[in-house]
Chains A and B, each alone.
Chain A
Amino acid sequence: MQIDEQLVEQIVRIVSEQLKENAGKNIEERKADTSNLNHPLAAKGTNPKEVVIGVGPAFQTEIKSTINGLDLDEVIKTIKAGIEEEGMVPRVVKVLKTSDVGFMGLEAAKLSGSGIGIGLQSKGTAVIHQKDLYPLSNLELFPQAPLMTLEKYRAIGKNAAKYVKGEKVSPIEGENDPMVRAKYQVKAALMHIKETELVDPSRPMIEWTEVQ
């Protein structure tokens, strides 16, 4: 696809100016936020009904909503509801060792009592993973975060629970918009950079009992 380089440059300039304006405020917020440190390291689950959702380092702290404006509190609540309705048990951990969605999903799956986990970046990209798979392989991947809706997050939770039960899973209808890349590339890059800055290998994964 052809992207107008000038246009991209222009957008980057505007966005970074915006960021500079807000810079002072941001640092203040981050200083105030020590919540990642207040949580215990995540333990391996033993409940065979458990589905672990591994969220990104900036989830609900530095980033409050997904790339297309869905409130992260709502997103996590919806995924948990999807898992609960199928009779399985959700648990949320925050992955600090990486910000790559594939690895986040795999790490969550390895902690999960059932071996099924969900990786969820703060910008909204999600993956359903299984502990025995290669990081870049997965059960289901939802790569286009800007096209996600709460219904889809609900279905992700439901499908993950169905994988635990060994039931037949109907694939979630995917949408594809070739313009998404052009429209959201800069925002996606900035959100991902923000998340990656918070990676802390010394505390690989922490229990994440919802930040309200």
Chain B
Amino acid sequence: MKLIAGVDIGNSTTEVCISQIDSEGKMRFLSSSSRATTGTKGTVANTAGIIDALGNAMEKIKKPVNELSLIRINEAAPVIGDTAMETITETIITESSMIGHNPSTPAGAGQAAGMTIYLEHLSEGREETPYIVVAGSGTSYDEIAKTINQHAKRLFIVGLILQADEGVLVENRLDRKLPIVDEVKRIHDIPEWKEAAIEVALAGQTIRMLSNPYGIATLLKLNAEETRAVTPIAKSLIGKRSAVVIKTPHGNVKENILPAGEIRIHAKEDCIVSIDAGADKIMEVLAGAGEVQDISGQKNTNIGNMLEKIRSGMGELTKEQAGEIKITDILAVDTLAPVMIAGSLAGETCMEKAVGVAAMVKTKQLPMEKIAEELKKQLHIYVKVAGVEAVMAALGALTTPGTKLPLAILDLGGGSTDAAIIHEDGNVAITHKAGAGELVSMLIQTELGLSSRYIAEEIKKYPLAKIESLYHMRLESGAIHFFDEPVEPKYFGNVVLLKPDDMIILEDDIPMEKIVFVRKEAKKKVFVKNAIRALTEVAPEHNLRRIDHVVLVGGSAEDFEVPEMLMEEFANYKIVCGRGNIRASEGPRNAVATGLVLSYIGAGNDHK
């Protein structure tokens, strides 16, 4: 009888599986353990973590570590992933020609057209002209209301633009109700004595006149030519709750396309694709290119810089010359990033088009032999580097109840999505694809405009809820949950992340529904797309329908919604897909360690 250990060194966790083999060669699993990896994966610094994990596992069966007769460690896949993001459009407002934003408390409702006039100049106003009054925050709300009430007897005042957040306060003091747009920070940039149109939407609605070119034409009496010119303004005001459009000679909203550059794919035949064509086109060209040797971007363009950044970052990590680093796969994803509009008066942001790219770099073999030697030296136990990670994971996944050959596994990691398939004849096909958890975090961060990547990571991992009172919260599913004990007042009114034993307050003021939407979309864009890409590559004849079973393993398989998303998607191909349950007890974890132990029987007694 002897004891052997399988050790899987991952990017974030080191996992151990201990098994006993009796004289007849029968195997029995005894225990397993898991702890954080020490140091960067594939470096000698991992040894400390491995020894600790072995100690933990052996302690569970009350045996000293030196009773082990063999330790098998994995041959880590030499792929590392990185991500980058660039916006490819830019919106500019010229001549302060419009305001379109969502003040938290707009006042009044309706639309009107008139001439802009500053509050101080009201006495110069003429009786026959309708006016839209512009008031800075230097004047208090009651004074503004008083002045307007006074002049309203003589002048025809149709609208009001305020700098301070006092729309409701002024409205409550006016004799006649007006549409009021408040919180316009750069109010003094509004040109005076110009034709303008103002609109405030009814509660719960968005503006209808100013987001329609003919609506603007009606209010500002434009001809066909001018109406065509204001179309971009109308488009940029869609979905706003309040807006002002000012008629100036050259005022408009422009969307500039930034020179984003081209991607050059070096394969059998070089292919070139422009970033402007969008992520779908890039991925299509990439799929058609065949085996990829390297991918580069046009010099001095956004994409060129992005890929260079990834290349040099990877060079630093692996201590190889940047020129030697080959990018062998990328995943491009279309996204939107909130960017402050140039020339805006009220600090409006615009969702600019952006492209996120995850790239994968193949490096030289990681020095696993060195780790093996170090372990041998410290523990005096025979250590063998045995088998490729993905193959071992597939073997381990086979211990999930209800699986059979041919079996495919999907390992959803941080930097890359890996797939492997074992056929009945024992043949194994594997692939690594760029883009996984880290790209999802980046998409969440950009689209929500979050200040830190850490919060994006947390949003990715945990479901949300809104604390509606000290006694209950509304879960993202819409259900109400009551607390056993009232929560601390600091949570009141906040959107929180539900960690298993803690609630994290999200400081950014974003509606829960929007966060949920962005999170799900990001996961679909990356995980579902990559799962199909990776499995298609390893599937017999590249036909997904030839796969029967897909077992999800790895960290992201523990995600609370990704497995369900994949299950739904694969149901279309009549594939059985689900979270792995290694040895019917470990869940999606420990697949590689288990595979390493299992492969010992197949490999024969290769040590004396």
Interface segment out of the listed A5-13, A132-140, A198-206: A132-140
Q: Out of A84, A132, A138, which one reaches B169, CB within 8 Å?
A: A84
Contact string against A for B residues 164-190, beta-carbon threshold 8 Å, 1 for contact and 0 otherwise? 011111001000000000000000000
Which residues does chain B contribute within 8 Å of A137, judged by CB atoms? 489
Tell whether, in the assembled complex, residue B169 and residue A170 are in contact, meaning their CB atoms are under 8 Å apart.
no
* Sample (28) of A-B pairs whose CB atoms are under 8 Å apart: A81-B141, A81-B166, A81-B169, A84-B168, A84-B169, A84-B172, A85-B166, A85-B167, A85-B169, A86-B104, A86-B168, A87-B105, A130-B470, A132-B470, A132-B471, A132-B486, A133-B470, A133-B489, A139-B489, A139-B492, A163-B492, A163-B493, A166-B468, A166-B469, A166-B493, A168-B495, A169-B492, A169-B493
Which residues of B sit under 8 angstroms from A84, Cβ to Cβ?
Answer: 168-169, 172
Question: For residue B509, which residue of chain A has the nearest CB?
Answer: A168
Q: Interface majority SS on B: helix, strand, loop or mixed?
A: loop
Residue of A nearest to B495 (CB): A168
Contact with B168, one of A87, A138, A162 (Cβ below 8 angstroms): A87
Question: A167 an interface residue at 8 Å Cβ cutoff?
Answer: yes
In the complex, A138→B494 CA distance in Å? 16
Residues of B within 8 A of A (CB): 104-105, 141, 165-169, 172, 468-471, 486, 489, 492-495, 509
The 3 residue pairs across chains A and B that have the minimum distance between CB atoms: A85-B168, A139-B489, A168-B509
By a CB distance below 8 angstroms, the chain A residues around B104 are 86
CA distance A171 to B25 in the complex (A): 66
Residue of A with least CB distance to B182: A85
Task: State in angstroms the CA–CA spacing of A170 and B494 once bound together.
Answer: 9
Known: A130-B470, A133-B470. Contact between A85 and B165, CB under 8 A? yes
From A81, A85, A130, A170, give the contact of B492 (CB < 8 A). A130
Q: How far is the CA of A96 from the CA of B274 in the complex (A)?
A: 74
How far does the alpha carbon of A169 sit from the alpha carbon of B507 in the complex, in Å? 9
Q: Which residues of A contact B165 (CB under 8 A)?
A: 85
Question: Which A residues fall within an 8 A CB radius of B?
Answer: 81, 84-87, 130, 132-133, 137-139, 162-163, 166-170
Closest partner residue, chain B, to A115 (CB atom): B469
What chain B residues lie within 8 Å of A162 (beta carbons)?
Answer: 493
Query: How far apart are B144's CB and chain A's nearest CB, in angstroms?
Result: 13
Of all chain A residues, the one with the shortest Cβ separation from B506 is A168
On chain A, the residues within 8 Å of B486 by CB distance are 132
Residues of B within 8 A of A132 (CB): 470-471, 486
Measured between beta carbons, the chain B residues less than 8 angstroms from A139 are: 489, 492
- Nearest CB of B to A12, in Å: 37
Question: Which of chain A's residues has its CB closest to B466's CB?
Answer: A166
Closest chain-A Cβ to B515's Cβ sits at a distance in Å of 12
Distance in angstroms from A145 CB to nearest chain B CB is 21
Chain A residues with Cβ below 8 Å from B468 are 166
In the assembled complex, the CB of B601 is this many whole angstroms from the nearest CB of chain A, namely: 58
Residue of B105, B141, B470 near A86 (CB, 8 A) is B105
* A164 closest partner in B (C-beta): B493
A140 closest partner in B (C-beta): B489
Residues of A contacting B169 in the complex (Cβ-Cβ under 8 angstroms): 81, 84-85
For B489, the chain A residues whose CB sits under 8 A away are 130, 133, 137-139
What separation, in Å, do the CA atoms of A167 and B489 have in the docked complex?
14
Provide the bound-state CA to CA distance between A162 and B166, in Å. Answer: 15
Q: Considering the chains assembled together, what is the distance between the CA atoms of A137 and B490 in angstroms?
A: 10
Q: Which chain B positions have C-beta within 8 A of A133?
A: 470, 489
Residue on B with the closest CB to A81?
A: B169
Q: Which residues of A contact B167 (CB under 8 A)?
A: 85
CA of A46 to CA of B172 in the docked complex: distance in angstroms?
22
**Could you tell me the distance in whole angstroms from the C-beta of A77 to the nearest C-beta in chain B?**
9
| CB nearest to B166 among chain A residues | A85
Query: A138 to chain B: which residues have CB within 8 Å?
Result: 489
Q: Is the CB of A167 within 8 A of B493?
A: yes
Which residues from B are CB-within-8-Å of A87?
Answer: 105, 168
**Residues on the B chain within 8 Å of A168, using CB:** 493-495, 509
| Complex Cα gap A163–B492 (Å) | 8
Given contacts A86-B105, A133-B489, A163-B492, is CB(A170)–CB(B470) below 8 Å? no
Residue of B nearest to A158 (CB): B165
A49, chain B: closest CB distance, angstroms: 12
**A162 CA to B541 CA, complexed, in Å:** 60
In the bound assembly, the distance between CA atoms of A84 and B170 in angstroms comes to 10
- What chain A residues lie within 8 Å of B166 (beta carbons)? 81, 85
Q: Residue on A with the closest CB to B512?
A: A168
When distances are taken between beta carbons in the complex, the residues of chain B under 8 Å from A85 are 105, 165-169
Closest to A132 in B: B470
Least Cβ–Cβ distance between B180 and chain A, in angstroms: 12
A85→B183 CA distance, assembly (Å):
12
Task: Give B475 Cβ to nearest chain A Cβ, in Å.
Answer: 15
In the complex, given contacts A87-B168, A133-B470, A168-B493, what are 17 additional A-B residue pairs having Cβ atoms less than 8 angstroms apart? A81-B141, A81-B166, A84-B169, A85-B168, A86-B104, A86-B105, A130-B489, A132-B471, A132-B486, A139-B489, A162-B493, A163-B492, A166-B468, A167-B493, A168-B495, A169-B492, A169-B494
Give every chain B residue within 8 A of A169 (Cβ-Cβ): 492-494
CB distance from B270 to the nearest CB of A (A): 51
Q: How far is the CA of A170 from the CA of B506 in the complex (A)?
A: 11
Q: How far is the CB of B554 from chain A (nearest CB, A)?
A: 35
Across-interface contacts of B168 in A (CB, < 8 A) = 84-87
Tell me the bound Cα distance from A137 to B486 in angstroms.
12
Task: Give min CB distance, A106 to chain B, whole Å.
Answer: 12
Q: Shortest distance in angstroms between B174's beta carbon and chain A's nearest beta carbon?
A: 14
Nearest-neighbor residue (CB-CB) of B141 within chain A = A81
CA distance A81 to B105 in the complex (A): 13
Q: What's the minimum C-beta distance from B143 to chain A, rounded to whole angstroms?
A: 13
What B residues does A86 contact at CB under 8 A?
104-105, 168
Q: What distance in Å separates the Cβ of A18 from its nearest Cβ neighbour in chain B?
A: 35
Instruction: Output the least CB separation between A84 and chain B (Å).
Output: 6
Chain B's nearest CB lies how many Å from the CB of A135? 13
Give the distance in Å from the alpha carbon of A159 to the alpha carbon of B165 in the complex.
14
Q: How far is the CB of B173 from chain A (nearest CB, A)?
A: 10
A87 to B169, CA, bound (A): 9
Give the distance in Å from the alpha carbon of A170 to the alpha carbon of B510 in the complex: 12
In the assembled complex, how far is the CB of residue B133 from the closest CB belonging to chain A, in whole angstroms?
Answer: 19
Give A152 Cβ to nearest chain B Cβ, in Å. 15
Complex interface: chain A residues within 8 A of B494 (CB): 168-169
Q: How far is the CA of A86 from the CA of B493 in the complex (A)?
A: 15
Closest chain A residue to B165, Cβ basis: A85
A190 nearest CB across to chain B (Å): 31
